[in-house]
A and B are shown apart, each in its own frame.
Chain A
Amino acid sequence: MKGIIKKIDRINFGLMSPEQIREMSVVKIERPDTYDEDGYPIESGLMDSRLGVIDPSLKCRTCGEKGGECQGHFGMIELARPVIHVGFGDDIHKILRSTCTECGRVLLDDDEIEEFTEKMEELQEAGESVEDLVKDVYKICKDKKTKEVCPHCGAEQEDIKIVKPIDIIEVRKQYDENGELMTEEDGTPLTEDYDLTASEVREKLQRIPDEDAYVLGVNPEVARPEWMVLTVLPVPPVTVRPSITLDTGERSEDDLTHKLVDILRINQRLIENMDAGAPQLIVEDLWKLLQYHVTTYFDNEASGVPPARHRSGRPLKTLAQRLKGKEGRFRSNLSGKRVNFSARTVISPDPNISINEVGVPEMIAKEVTVPTYVNEWNIEELKEAILNGPNVHPGANYVKKTINGKEMKVRVLDDNRELVVENLEYGDVVMRHLKDGDIVLFNRQPSLHRMSMMAHEVRVLPYKTFRLNLCVCPPYNADFDGDEMNMHVFQTDESRAEAKSLMRVQEHILSPRFGGPIIGAIHDHISGAYLLTRDGFTVREDDAFQMIRKSHLLNNEYVDKKHLKRKNRDWTGKELFSLLLPDDLNMNYKAEICRKCETCLKEDCQYDAFVVIKDGQLTHGAIDEAAYGSFSGKILDTIVKEYGPSRAKEFLDRSTDLAICGIMKTGITTGTNDEEIPEEAIEVIDAHLDKAEQEVDKLIATYEEGLLQPLPGRSAEETLEMRIVQVLGEARDTAGEIAEGYLTMGKQSQDDSYDYVMAVENHSVVMARTGARASMLNLTQITACVGQQAVRGGRIERGYINRTLPHFKKGELGAKAKGFVHSSYKSGLDPIEFFFHAMGGREGLVDTAVRTSRSGYMQRRLVSALEDLKLTADGSIRNTADTIIQFRYGEDGTDPTRSVGGKVIDMDDLFTEVLGDDADALLRLDSRDVGEDYGSREKDEMEYFEEENSDYESETEYESE
């Protein structure tokens, strides 16, 4: 790399004058050819070797450098006739509209010009934008253009129109033979459109004096208005448009070269025709063609211009297309770059690794390396790595040495290993393989929040997938249906240290989006913990110790040995789970399985839904989603906030281990049997639905008789519709409730504790009630009744004229005719129901697709707007100009991560802490919203969308390749 030669003081934007283009050009291109038969560049052709070379074996005829060294030189094409530059069509139109048709002066009087010039100079000095003033000038002039004469020469004005992107049209007033203005009957002047040629436009622009150009917003020193009309076209160097040699030996040219060939061909023909004195019509046609080619050369997606196409029919990628959009130079190559020391592969789950670990395939570990400085303490280890070489796992790929101030990179090969080891000395850098314990960055797109990129510890594992703990699926929004993730290896100690303190998984258990845990137990962890900790579940002591051992609770720094003594009796699940809890933990809350009874029996809850933890002992209540699930885990939330991230990490790792042990002890299974209800229940449900349908028919009858009382502010039709929807909604809900009465986890009697435990026989219900997966709504839709299908937020209306399907009478309003599904998924839908269900399902799919793209774009705009705001030491939010955006962050100066469900403090916690047991009277357990609000609401919404779509089993995996 060359050193810094010059420092940039400022950048000036302007237009290139024809002289500048000619000056910087090294060759005038005249021939529309590239190479001759022998494959040599043709002199003054588009590949002229004075434009620079790509082939390293050739020398540039301008600078003498080899290919690769020479950055290329511009050439030029002298256009036979001037051509308008597409990028400036609008500006030309605005300028011409603000200036006199005859003399080219701006349509302001001398005083106004002076006033505006002064104001602009002031603003320029202050470094502020003159945009608004320029707009004002345009507004004033535009008005004068149609109504007044030129204040300078007194000429009548003709208005100027533009047909996008480049046709400038003069609207000429018509005069009769006496020189009288011709008018329409209503007095408006008669006009005729006249297409201005590029030459005429250029002449008009040329007439504008420098002083006038300044008030029009054009600085004549760097951009004369007429330079917007091209007379000479710069030809970019070949390095910008390299030709590709195909495997067949055929040469394939860049799109830009193709376009330049077109321009040159037409240009030559235009010159020949003009020299031969061809008729005006032919010259004009060729001129228009030249304009078209130059236009598409700059922008092949200009509106109103048919895009130039390749022989295959593919539109050409010209200058604007190279820069624009997601795949353009800015977004794809400058804002985002591809990097080294990164890896991407499919992910799969591994419940046996910690949440802050990632399983890295050995294959990848051998490819991406960590630069390690050789020192006294690691030299032996590194020597061994070098001896292992690049192909054996804890090996090394390169060694970097500095000899006489020159850096040398030596590749570790089979035959030089011994030599490299011999010469290894302190201060050398060994590029050693990734090994267990290294810190890496792990990421899944779309990276919507900071938890999408976290630092993990490496675990080198066999096979070819990245392995991750299931608890980190929610923050990454990952599943294992083929998802891929990226890994980046830190290359400096600074970055590694920073990541270790800021980006590790345990630092992100709490989400800044709501003050609760986003990393937590999911699915089987939850059902497992419930099955283990429900009332009456016991294991034999030796089994208990086996579980303790398997979930790494022996010799665990956080588990006191005193809890691990023999009890000489069976252990309860609650005792096992209590091992995980800190000894001074005290809390109580309502579990997910809570049925929200009218009066809460608290400790005596018959569903075991009131959780009490006293001095680290789980005395009442079962563990479920509300305890340590992602988005809502209260115990987890308390542990992170009170005991810190490391303790929480350990709790999560161990508790999920234990839950898996629990689920393996009891076993879990599900099938359609779980959604079975007795025949008599089905009869009750059917009777109920029939009754609802009769009610709907009754409503319709009242409506048809004109006796339906409309609700305030509604028409009779709307009232009827609302009533029907309400009746059917209630009918489905009651059907669901009836079914729910039969869908229990098991026998509810506590008389015989052994039976009670073993009575857990419906695992679908266990999963739904504990919040592990699915919901009671899902289950009742399977067993009882699917319910009303909706499109566009109402009953189904579309289809045939005045009816949804030809099976119905025109204007029929009944339940069945508008998409009510009586059947359950298990009993099966009839064809009509199936069709309506498909309609509703399709709308859901379309909505999701629209929503993802729209919210993605909104996110992008928000990020661009907020990315450079920062929190300063005084608590205010400032932008880069150091002006204040918000006097106090979030107005309350609170970090939402450390808030309690978005609130600054939780009074209940405070009472408990200060008053201990006496606080019970003050606690508002019912209205308590610790971590519940945002997190669970969000999860509900997510599940709601899933429900809508999961009917279709088409996971719309959004992979942005």
Chain B
Amino acid sequence: MAFNILNHSAVPKHEILSDDEIEEIFADVDYDISQLPKIKVNDPVSKAIGAEEGQVLKITRKSETAGIFVTYRLVSGENNQK
């Protein structure tokens, strides 16, 4: 009976990346995963897709300028907002 927020039109697609995918995507960049934007473990979306601390989420959303835009967020604990 609980409402599935993932089906809401304003919630973009969130996917948990596997370790292989992470390695592939972040192979050629000059930053490491800890520098990614964060999403809290207890964020409603993290909870809904069952993400765990340390995982990386791939977020695919509509963009006014680019059409479709892909971002990544690191799932982090409560006290690590920064």
Min CB gap A512→B, angstroms: 14
Sort chain B's interface into a size bin. 10 to 19
- Whole-angstrom CA separation of A887 from B31 in the bound complex: 11
Q: How far is the CA of A608 from the CA of B27 in the complex (A)?
A: 60
A709 at the binding interface (Cβ < 8 Å)? no
Residues of A within 8 A of B79 (CB): 123, 128, 132-133
A954 within 8 A of partner (CB): no
Residue interface mask A51-62, B partner, CB < 8 A = 1: 000000000000
| B82 engages A890 (CB within 8 Å) | no
Give the docked Cα–Cα distance between A123 and B80 (Å). Answer: 10
Which of the residues A129, A874, A892 comes within 8 Å of B30, measured between beta carbons? A874
Task: Kindly identify which residue among A128, A133, A894 contacts B82, using a CB–CB cutoff of 8 Å.
Answer: A128
Q: Do A883 and B37 contact each other (CB < 8 Å), given the known contacts A132-B79, A874-B29? A: yes
Least Cβ distance of B62 to chain A in Å? 10
Counting CB contacts under 8 A, is A705 at the interface? no
The reply on A500 being an interface residue by CB < 8 A is: no
Cβ contacts under 8 Å, B35 to chain A: 882-884
Contact across chains for B65 and A885 when beta carbons are under 8 A apart: no
Identity of the chain B residue whose Cβ is nearest the Cβ of A133 in the assembled complex: B79
CB within 8 Å for A888 and B31 given contacts A123-B79, A128-B79, A883-B37: no
B37→A891 contact, CB < 8 A: no
Q: Are B82 and A892 closer than 8 Å at their CB atoms?
A: no
**CA separation between A128 and B31, bound complex, in Å?**
21
A883-B29 contact, Cβ under 8 Å, with A888-B66, A892-B63, A892-B65: no
CB-nearest residue of chain A relative to B67?
Answer: A892
A891 and B36 in contact, given A874-B29, A884-B31 (Cβ under 8 angstroms): no
Q: Which of A125-144 contact B (CB under 8 A)?
A: 128-129, 132-133
Q: Which of B30, B64, B71 is the one whose CB lies under 8 Å from A887? A: B71
Contact with B along A867-892 (1 / 0, CB 8 A): 00000001000000111111110111
Contacts of B82 in A (CB 8 A): 128-129, 881
Chain A residues positioned under 8 Å from B69 (CB to CB): 888, 891
Residues of A in contact, count (CB < 8 Å): 19
B72 and A887 contacting across the interface, CB-CB below 8 Å: yes
Q: How far is the CA of A883 from the CA of B72 in the complex (A)?
A: 12
Which chain B residue shows the least CB distance to A879? Answer: B35
Which residues of A lie under 8 Å from residue B36 when comparing CB positions?
Answer: 883-884
In chain B, residues 27-82, which have Cβ atoms closer than 8 Å to a Cβ of chain A? 29-31, 35-37, 63-66, 69-72, 78-80, 82
Contacts of A874 in B (CB 8 A): 29-30
Q: Which of B63, B78, B80 contacts A891 (CB 8 A)?
A: B63
Contact A892 B66 (CB under 8 A): yes
C-alpha spacing A891/B65, complex, angstroms: 6
Q: Is there an interface contact between B30 and A894, defined as CB atoms closer than 8 Å?
A: no
Q: Would you give the shortest CB distance from A282 to chain B, in whole angstroms?
A: 53
Nearest CB in chain A to that of B30: its residue:
A874
Pick the contact of B37: A123, A132, A882, A885 (CB < 8 A).
A885
Q: State A882–B36 Cα separation when bound (angstroms).
A: 10
Residue of B nearest to A126 (CB): B80
Within the complex, the shortest CB–CB distance from A393 to chain B, in Å, comes to 52
Chain B residues within 8 Å of A887, by CB: 70-72
Nearest chain B CB to A887 CB, angstrom units = 5
Tell me how far the C-beta of A129 lies from the nearest C-beta in chain B, rounded to whole angstroms. 8
- By beta carbon, the residue of chain B nearest A903 is B65
A705 to chain B, nearest CB (A): 45
Which chain A residue has the least Cβ–Cβ distance from B61?
A: A891
The residue among A133, A883, A890, A893 with the most chain B CB atoms within 10 A of its own CB is A883
Query: Quick one: closest B residue to A872, CB to CB?
Result: B30
Complex formed: what's the CA distance from A888 to B71 in Å?
Answer: 9
Residues of B within 8 A of A133 (CB): 79
Q: A882–B71 Cα gap in the complex (Å)?
A: 17
Question: 13 A-B residue contacts at CB 8 Å?
Answer: A123-B79, A132-B79, A874-B30, A883-B37, A884-B37, A887-B71, A890-B66, A891-B64, A891-B65, A891-B69, A892-B63, A892-B65, A892-B66
Shortest beta-carbon contacts, A-B, top 8? A892-B66, A892-B65, A891-B66, A891-B63, A883-B35, A891-B69, A891-B65, A890-B65
